[in-house]
Amino acid sequence: MAGDEKTKIVRERLFLYGPNPSPELVQQLMAEADADIQAARAHKLSLITAQRATGPTTTITPSEITGKRKIAFAAFKSFLESEVGINEFLDNFERQCALHQIHIEEWPTIMSGKLSGSDISKISLYFKEQSLRSFDDVPAMPLTLLLSNMGSQWSLWFGSSVLSVAEMAELVFDIAVMSGIIAYKWQKKKAAKVEEK
């Protein structure tokens, strides 16, 4: 009976560590399970002794003795695609974790044993090193220096400056305006000749 209880405790705790736990971890969990069982027996014995001496008393669970919180894995349903959608399953899972006061860091371990289906995959990521490298994009030169360099190249290759380019633009604009005025007067004169005939 004690062996079955010990096996059950060890299996429940091993489930938290995922597949392929190390032999050292298994030995440690077995020792902790032995200690918990012995403490629970000693507590039960002290309660029975005290009850015989004084009468009925409240019972305390082994988890209250050791200070470790047991997680009721049976409370967490496995995900079946045919029964519920993944969003509903995750909502129920969050409610159960809140109800049992399970820290968010323990969620993936519990959930990994409860998920299955064609839309579910499990990825284990392991980093080579624990440091973080960040890269910042910094411009090679500020915008003012870029414009200055472009102006220098322009004047070097075309022999002009910003003022001469502005003057050329003004000349083109003046030619366009003058052409428009001449065309308007010519159209007006042509219309007047047509009216005379």
Per-residue pLDDT tens over the stretch 104-145: 777 777 777 676 655 556 566 667 777 777 888 888 899 999
Percent of the chain with pLDDT over 90: 13
Q: Which DSSP state fits 90?
A: H
- Cβ contact 73:12 at 8 Å: yes
The pLDDT assigned to 90 comes to 78
The total number of residues written for the chain in this structure: 197
Please report, as a single letter, which amino acid is at residue 30. M
Enter the pTM of the model.
0.28
